[in-house]
Structure 1
Amino acid sequence: MSSYFRVVPEGTLPSPAAAEDKFAGGVWQAEILTRQKPDGLRGHRFAYAPGGRSNWHVHTGEQALIVVAGHGLIQWEGLDEPRELQPGDWVHVEPGVPHWHGATDDSVFVHLAVTATGETEWGDPVR
């Protein structure tokens, strides 16, 4: 039965710097759940230094963000100003909607990202 389940202890997760061509201002990414089949579920933890941001990007499948610490921002295409996020908030990211997320200028920000399917297409840095 254990072959159907996997427990990933928090203390075992390396958290290297996220790719500089996709994130700016100090962001660290831990890969928690790797795909077990093509187009399968995956999970990451992102930690942002104050002011850290992702570039604009689009997911081809659904994603959920779960805020676990600090204060963050998210903005999607068509939203005039970023919306603030705080611990306990969940965000359902619809496929095909350009968006970015990151920390406020005065707080760290940590969120989990659970991606159901698909890929991420990366765009320009946040201005």
Structure 2
Amino acid sequence: MSEEFKVVAEASVASPAVGADKFVGDVWQAEILTRQRENGMRGHRFAYAPGGRSNWHVHTGEQALVVVSGRGLIQWEGLDEARVLEPGDWVHVVPGVPHWHGAAEDSVFVHLAITATGETEWGEPV
């Protein structure tokens, strides 16, 4: 069975604001790649205003974050303080580990999120 490649022009994708139930501050999410099969990969672009961030959350499958621009922060359970992220940084998000990520207080922050499988379970604000 032959499957088709999918090319998505970034300009063709809406980037609506995300809900306050999962993020704090101004954050926009663009769903660039949608699942093509059950439990398949998906890809998003997130843009955070300064100080914007996700709530604590857990992924049930693997995820990679790729920093595109700005200065961001990430913290996972067991890490004493948030770690700074800069353009070009990649983060391997381990399934089952609570974490959050977002913009530094003085910077806009943009990252790509490539989720291999699974779902996201949302927790409390940071």
Name the TM-score, length of structure 1 as normaliser. Answer: 0.96
Is 2:22 the partner of 1:19?
Answer: no
Write out per-residue CA displacement over residues 79-98 of structure 1, whole angstroms, 9 at most, x where no aligned residue: 00000000000000000000
Distance between the aligned counterparts of 2:102 and 2:8, measured in 1? 25
Task: Provide the residue aligned with 2:32 in structure 1.
Answer: 32
SS at 2:11's partner residue?
helix
Distance between the aligned counterparts of 1:19 and 1:65, measured in 2? 20
Write out per-residue CA displacement over residues 48-91 of structure 1, whole angstroms, 9 at most, x where no aligned residue: 00000000000000000000000000000000000000000000
Write the mapping of 1:1-127 to structure 2, written as runs, cut at 5 A.
4-126=4-126
Letter in 1 for 2:87: P
Structure 1 residues without counterparts, runs of 5 or longer: none
How much has 1:3 moved relative to structure 2?
Answer: 5.1
Name the TM-score, length of structure 2 as normaliser. Answer: 0.97
Structure 1 stretches (4+) deviating beyond 2 angstroms?
Answer: none
SS at 2:45's partner residue?
strand
Distance between the aligned counterparts of 2:115 and 2:3, measured in 1? 22
Structure 2 residues without counterparts, runs of 5 or longer: none
How much has 1:20 moved relative to structure 2?
Answer: 1.1
- Number of positions where the alignment pairs a residue of Structure 1 with one of Structure 2: 125
Distance between the aligned counterparts of 1:118 and 1:87, measured in 2? 26
Distance between the aligned counterparts of 1:30 and 1:41, measured in 2? 15
SS at 1:84's partner residue?
strand
Distance between the aligned counterparts of 1:77 and 1:54, measured in 2? 14
How much has 1:4 moved relative to structure 2?
Answer: 1.3
